[in-house]
Structure 1
Amino acid sequence: MFKNYLKIAWRNFIQQKWYSFLNMSGLAIGMACSILILLWVRHESSYDTFHANADQIYRLTAIANEDFKAAVSPAGMVEELPQLMPEIESSLRLGYPFEELFEVDGQKFKESSIFYADTNFLEVFTFPLIEGNPKTALSRPDGILLAEITARKFFGSERALGRTIKINNTDTFTVSGVMADVPSNSHLQFNAILPMTYHAKTNSDLINKVWDSFNFYGYFQFRKGTITSEEDLSAAIEKINQIYAARMTEFEITFNLQPLKDIHLHSNLQIDVPGHGNIQYVNIFFVVAFIILIVACINYMNLATARSSRRAKEVGLRKVIGAGRNQLIFQFFGESLMIAFFSLILAIGMVYLALPAFNDLAKKQLELQLGDANIWIGLMAIALITGLISGSYPALFLSGFRPIKVLKGRMKLSGSNLFFRNGLVITQFVVSILLLIGTTVIYTQLNFIQNKNLGYDKSNLIYIPMEGELWGKQEALKTALEQNVLTRDFSIISDLPANLVTGDFDIHWEGKDPNSQVLFPHINADENFLDVFQMTLLEGRGFSKTSSDNHDYLINETAVKIMGMDVENAVGKSLTFRENKGTIIGVVKDFNYKPLQYAIEPLVLQHRKEGSLAVIRTAPKSTENTIAVLEGIYGALNPAYPLSYNFVDTSLDAQYKGEQQMGTIFNVFALLAIFISCLGLYGLSSFMTEQRFKEIGIRKVLGASALRLVNMLSQDFIKLVIIAFFLAIPISWYAMNKWLQEFAFRIDIQWWMFGLAGFSVLFIALSTVSFQSLKAANADPVKSLRTE
């Protein structure tokens, strides 16, 4: 019997090539989209799971003022807590990622993503070495660990262990280990690791083992069996907070322990390592994968029911000769499963073809590893679920035909069948409208971010770092920049107003509440800062070039409000910052100095004539000439270093790379889902015209025009679109409003976004339906009436 069903399914598949092609195309595209998304979701959810002790490792994070949550912690606290808490097996500190100039055999390389790490780095984390001993790799202050890709860049195919590298033209390090390339699903991405013992020679935080300066990432490995529940974790956090409160009575800081596996997707923290994901995006795309698969299944159902009248007599004859309904259900499920598994093979081919483009889009290194048994289990599950879902309604619907009616040609659809099928189409419309609204909102928000007035002009700003000899030649650099008309509009600052990571509680002003604890970020800037960045001074004056006093302060509007002052009376008040007593000389209009996910915080600008960055405003259309001038100046003052420059607007745009990638991926899959829906609409319009074929012929004989017939056949779809539109509005508003909550500065969802999506879906639906309607309206009525 089973063999017979397979034969029948295969014959139907071969005889009805166009119908089979539509079914397979819809299911294959839906499966391919779902597989790509699920590969991405799987990769995002797998971060840091490869570490042997992943379940015992936690990162220490800090919370100040309830609103300021940071990924950093004090160096001394991380080092000493294991002595105060026996449940902690070991602790590990990492410094901020930075870049350095490497020199190998006379060749120079500028490398980024360099970390300082404690000696037990390779004991806490599982990064295998391909050269060297993991127990001693960071034991010597002049040792250096290289990632495999960095070692190949420096030494080619030669052995790197024991080779020497000069850093910043001063210190020489010996390669003490080469790590296998860092897995792409690691929240730590680095090219080299330097010993913390080397950093401890000059870093005051490490020398003094401070508990009040937050400049390091701290990790704890707890003993096995210590933390097995949320209650155990809460108890450990409470104990840490009690120890800190007893040690540092003047600060109100609370700490949290973040599981290692949660860092990538659950880190809405400031001063964090770059490259984190977002659990909300993972959830969104997981739902999108499921929706696309359901849309593909609905497409199959619609196409199957569209041909119901052609299968009705087959069903009637089978029932007459003794076939039971269960046998017919089994047959139709067999057909849908066969098409689903054929579609899976086609989908796998599509995935292989699309993976390079998708990886480029998502900035990932995803692979479909068919040698992995888990992958095959997942693929088989997708095909099985798809086949069962897509075949369920056709099997139950077609097998329920009564043989007497269908053999007499009096088959009539019940109201429940019409209701269910219309519900399927409404679901497709709802999905299409939701995806289009989501696409519109995401695009509008990203466009808003790119074009928002940040409070300063970010265009035409080039910045160069103070490296090597430039640190001691800043006056000479200023003189050289002033002498050329292309570079004379410059400012020397400590940090870019793009993603400021500084912050200090040591600030006092007139009338401050002694119990008040407010974190104040700050920027050191010279007298040109306001002019170069074209910021607005609301009151007072800027820094003076002739003043030698480094205790002049500018503050922003938010700082004025927090201090309980007015913009008009803040100027002239005394301000003490980091024990440096000075005077507020001006108030700057609020500007965004952090990503737009964060609200504007109070800011202190301190007058300094030296800094770590030189920012130059170029004249329009003179950027290339300005860079050429900078190369000459840099080469004369700092010949050992190649010129390293970047653009402020490029740095700002990079902060929203994750959102931009998410938006692009969302757009692609939204279009594909709509395309699959069009196949389903084609099926339903085919079904409706087939059901009303004789009616169309009679109306045409009686004088109905083709336009009138198209209008008649399209009315039902217009009703379905309207119903779907009103169902989609509250769902889309809730979902997109929740996404927008991540941004302190965001757009308002406008009515036109809903209208545009609704009109677009209506246009697409009518265009799809009109093709089938025109085909039926232009058919010869004799063909439909000749049996009457």
Structure 2
Amino acid sequence: MIKHYVKVALRLIKRSFLFSSINMLGFVFGMAAAFLIYLWVVDELTYDDCFPEVNRIYRTIEVNREPSGEIKESPSTVRSLTKVFREEFPQVEEASAIKYGDLHTFETEGHKKISGHGVYVDSAFFRIFPFPVLEGNPEYISNNPDNVVLSESTAQKMFGKKPAVGQKLTYSGYGRERIYNVVAVVKIPSKSHIRFDIVYPMEAYGMGMMGHNWDHFRESIHVYVKMKAGDEGKMYQQELKSMSRALSKFGEKRTLLRFQSVKDIHLNTTFPDPCVKNHGNMATIYLFTALAILVIFMGAFNFTTLSTARASMRYKEIGVRKITGAKRKTLISQFLSESLVQAFISLILALALTELMLPLFNKFMDTEISLRLSWAVFFYILFGIVGIGCLAGSYPAFYLSSINPLLAFKGGQKTGKKGGLIKGLVCIQFIIALTLMLLTAIVFKQLHYMQNKDLGLDKENVVSVYTSLWYNVAGFKQELLRNPNVKSISMGAPIENLGEGEAHGDGSLFRWTNIDGQEDSLKMVIVFADGDFSKTFGLELIKGKLLESDFGKYWGDRNPGIVINEAAWKGMKVADPIGMELQMSTWGKMHIVGVVKDFNFQSLREKIKPAILYYSPEALSYMHIKIAPEHRRETLKFIQRKYEEMAVQDDLFVKDFSYQFFSDALNKNYAKEHQQSRMLLFFTVLAILIAMLGVFGLVALSTEQRTKEIGVRKVNGAHSDRIVKMFCMEYLKWVGIAFVVASPIGYYLMYRWLSEFAYQTAISWWLFILAGAVIAGITLLTVIGQTWRKASQNPVVSLRYE
């Protein structure tokens, strides 16, 4: 019997292929989108699950109350806390610190040069984070400050398929040469928030501190603890008091501490955390989960309503079946089986479409997701498919099977003008599509605003080149300046680390004595730069003089001159900052020589922070070159040629020339917004497609059902365009209602999204007009395309139809 029902269902699909295809397509697209989002959400939620007992691992967070009352958090803290945790808190099983470093260049024994980002760790690091070991033993790193561990990708670049353990690497920098021994190679899981190319022992960094206070140093240092099983709650109860007292030993009396679960780092970090480059966002998870639910609702709704509308054209078939002896139970089974067969075909097509779309989706979202569904999830999917299939077949199964055969032969109740409920549900689809269009429009408008806003510095036509050079840059710089298309050159930090500090972008605490003789303080971001920075980036001097880059003076002067921005001047609340002496626990004393106009080098999500320009040669590993825009290509070739010539002469240069434009690097600040815009665009197009498939199907069914009415109207003198206009007005009415409802919803969502940014674009009125016009236009094209054929048909054929 089941086999018979399936055959009949397949025969019905073949006989009404157009309607059946439209019926299933929206459902297929909706399910495929939902599957993709489900796989992405699971991938995001399982971040850092690669580490065993990850639920017992926490990161230490410093909590500071600013003089303004604002609460600021930072993951950077002093590494000496690890000793305090191990010795004074029995709940702690292990404690470890990691110091994020800069880009370093190494030469192998085969004279191959590779650059990579390094981190410094202590002996407990690999016990808390046991990365999969491919060669050697990473714990040997603590035996010797000259031992290093490589990531798998770095080892392959350096040594190919040869064993890396036992190989030696030479690092030349800061005027000295050092040889490291490779003791292990580890694999970094794709979903680890900790990323590195090379790992040094913490002692290697301490040896290079050059007299600075290592105990109070906190720049880019993160401290992790692993709790004993069952003791996590006890630690939380006393963290604010006991832990904060521990921190006061290192000069921070007003700072509190709290723990952040490693599981929360990827999705629930709400403070600046530039050392971790692969943050997600829980709000984005919620947003796209909601969008997936809406889209699959639209697909399921189309499937159900079109099945119902299509069934209303089968009255005569039902009458014949009932007269020939078919029982109601048989008809119910038949209609339900037809709907279920279509639902299961839709599921198979959706899974196939998901598999086909995954490579594009992974490229789109920069992920490595594969189609894998657990049995439990697959069971829920089947349960949902059966439910939707039964819902879609319930109207013909339970209502149409109960009607009188004579009423069935008369045609029963037809959908048409009276199908208000179905058209009302189509209106809901229009509301969803319009709201998504408005959200997508404001995201793209904000992105355009951020990429074109005046930042207070000239970011265009600045090429940033990594030189791997530190003490002999003058020769290369002079060679480049001989070219008239090279306007100016400044040595500086990497673009992504341009504004650093103890919190690596959140600011370092500077103290000074105010006019009342009281100590005052302010957190300021450090911008490492040389004397040509202001010229290269077009900074405007307000007061005093610009930064100087006197190499010899730098080493002899323990009170160097610095330049601050307007935000720092306002934050210090002094009439004239020139000549004032500031002190920082790590770098010592410095004095203010000038003030420049505010400039923004970070995301426009945040207001411009108080900043200082500070000359520190060891931090200037990048050359920022201002070039003439009309000769870009020729100038880049010239820079590359001179670079390669210098690389032959100077062993400190990396052989491979690489560059990036400063403007492109700044735009990377908005990677999350770009991802959101792409996803919203995808869902918007999909929502419009599904909505129009629904309109197309309903109009097609409506014109089929009203063929005789169309014929009568034409016999009575109605022109084809009037008939088409009649159908168009029916659907435009619902578009108008949807526009009225969607506009305030869209405005509220746009306002909420923009509130995350300190600098915002305007919510323009034309966005609403554009969204409404697009939906109305597509709807009109869909309706006209379907009704014109019927309206142009000979009325004799139309009247003979029924």
| Superposition TM-score, scaled by structure 1 size | 0.90
Helix, strand or coil: the match of 1:74?
coil
1:462, 1:615 within 8 Å by CA — same for their partners in 2? yes
Q: Is 1:618 matched up with 2:627? A: yes
2:547, 2:613 within 8 Å by CA — same for their partners in 1? no
644 and 16 in structure 1: CA distance in 2 versus 1, 3 angstrom threshold: closer
The amino acid of 2:534's aligned partner reads L
Aligned to 2:504: none
553 and 423 in structure 1: CA distance in 2 versus 1, 3 angstrom threshold: same
Selected match of 2:291 from 288, 306, 310: 288
Helix, strand or coil: the match of 1:310?
coil
The amino acid of 1:213's aligned partner reads R
Distance in 2 (CA, whole Å) between partners of 1:137 and 1:582 is 37
Q: Is 1:123 matched up with 2:127? A: yes
Q: CA deviation at 1:479?
A: 4.6
Q: Is 1:605 matched up with 2:613? A: yes
481 and 570 in structure 1: CA distance in 2 versus 1, 3 angstrom threshold: farther
Q: CA deviation at 1:682?
A: 0.6
Q: CA deviation at 1:220?
A: 0.8
Q: Is 1:725 matched up with 2:724? A: no
Helix, strand or coil: the match of 1:490?
strand
Q: CA RMSD for the aligned pairs?
A: 3.2
Q: Is 1:279 matched up with 2:282? A: yes
1:70, 1:269 within 8 Å by CA — same for their partners in 2? yes
Q: CA deviation at 1:631?
A: 4.1
Higher mean alpha-carbon deviation, 151-160 vs 357-366, is at 151-160
Q: CA deviation at 1:745?
A: 1.7
The amino acid of 1:257's aligned partner reads F
Aligned to 1:341: 344
Q: CA deviation at 1:357?
A: 1.5
Distance in 2 (CA, whole Å) between partners of 1:420 and 1:320 is 31
Selected match of 2:774 from 747, 760, 784: 760
400 and 679 in structure 1: CA distance in 2 versus 1, 3 angstrom threshold: farther
Distance in 1 (CA, whole Å) between partners of 2:618 and 2:132 is 43
Selected match of 1:561 from 556, 570, 574: 570
Higher mean alpha-carbon deviation, 619-628 vs 386-395, is at 386-395
Q: Deviations over 1:138-158 (max 9, x none)?
A: 544333222333333333333
2:268, 2:282 within 8 Å by CA — same for their partners in 1? yes
Distance in 2 (CA, whole Å) between partners of 1:108 and 1:389 is 66
Q: Deviations over 1:265-316 (max 9, x none)?
A: 1123323311111111111111121122111112212322332332223334
Distance in 1 (CA, whole Å) between partners of 2:152 and 2:590 is 51
Aligned to 1:472: 471
Aligned to 1:694: 708
393 and 87 in structure 1: CA distance in 2 versus 1, 3 angstrom threshold: farther
Aligned to 1:83: 87
Distance in 2 (CA, whole Å) between partners of 1:709 and 1:718 is 14
Higher mean alpha-carbon deviation, 750-759 vs 736-745, is at 736-745
Distance in 2 (CA, whole Å) between partners of 1:111 and 1:384 is 56
Distance in 2 (CA, whole Å) between partners of 1:539 and 1:198 is 41
Selected match of 1:301 from 294, 299, 304: 304
Distance in 2 (CA, whole Å) between partners of 1:495 and 1:472 is 17
Q: Is 1:172 matched up with 2:179? A: yes
Q: CA deviation at 1:327?
A: 5.8
1:101, 1:641 within 8 Å by CA — same for their partners in 2? yes
Q: CA deviation at 1:545?
A: 7.8
Distance in 1 (CA, whole Å) between partners of 2:544 and 2:536 is 18
The amino acid of 2:773's aligned partner reads F
The amino acid of 1:558's aligned partner reads A
The amino acid of 1:286's aligned partner reads T
Output aligned runs, 1:339-378, within 5 Å.
339-369=342-372, 373=375, 376-377=378-379
Selected match of 2:762 from 748, 757, 780: 748
2:167, 2:181 within 8 Å by CA — same for their partners in 1? yes
Gaps of 5+ in 2: 502-506
Distance in 2 (CA, whole Å) between partners of 1:353 and 1:221 is 42
The amino acid of 2:228's aligned partner reads R
Q: Is 1:411 matched up with 2:406? A: no
1:102, 1:165 within 8 Å by CA — same for their partners in 2? yes
Aligned to 2:112: 108
The amino acid of 1:128's aligned partner reads P
Helix, strand or coil: the match of 2:685?
helix
Output aligned runs, 1:64-213, within 5 Å.
64=64, 65=66, 66-133=70-137, 135-136=139-140, 138-168=142-172, 170-179=177-186, 181-203=187-209, 210-211=215-216, 213=218
Q: CA deviation at 1:600?
A: 1.0
1:60, 1:256 within 8 Å by CA — same for their partners in 2? yes
Distance in 2 (CA, whole Å) between partners of 1:641 and 1:412 is 77
Helix, strand or coil: the match of 2:120?
strand
Selected match of 1:591 from 589, 593, 599: 599
1:495, 1:523 within 8 Å by CA — same for their partners in 2? no
254 and 304 in structure 1: CA distance in 2 versus 1, 3 angstrom threshold: same
Helix, strand or coil: the match of 2:682?
helix
The amino acid of 2:542's aligned partner reads L
Aligned to 1:448: 449
2:415, 2:702 within 8 Å by CA — same for their partners in 1? no
Higher mean alpha-carbon deviation, 391-400 vs 745-754, is at 391-400
Distance in 1 (CA, whole Å) between partners of 2:171 and 2:782 is 65
Helix, strand or coil: the match of 2:199?
strand
Count of residues in Structure 1 that have an aligned counterpart in Structure 2: 776
Distance in 2 (CA, whole Å) between partners of 1:408 and 1:223 is 78
311 and 490 in structure 1: CA distance in 2 versus 1, 3 angstrom threshold: same
Selected match of 2:389 from 376, 387, 390: 387
Distance in 2 (CA, whole Å) between partners of 1:154 and 1:478 is 29
Sequence identity percentage: 32
Helix, strand or coil: the match of 2:131?
coil
The amino acid of 2:598's aligned partner reads D
Q: CA deviation at 1:464?
A: 3.5
Q: CA deviation at 1:480?
A: 4.4
Q: CA deviation at 1:609?
A: 7.6
Q: CA deviation at 1:607?
A: 5.8
Output aligned runs, 1:177-256, within 5 Å.
177-179=184-186, 181-203=187-209, 210-211=215-216, 213-228=218-233, 232=234, 234-244=236-246, 246-247=248-249, 251-256=253-258
67 and 651 in structure 1: CA distance in 2 versus 1, 3 angstrom threshold: farther
784 and 640 in structure 1: CA distance in 2 versus 1, 3 angstrom threshold: closer
The amino acid of 2:576's aligned partner reads A
Gaps of 5+ in 1: none
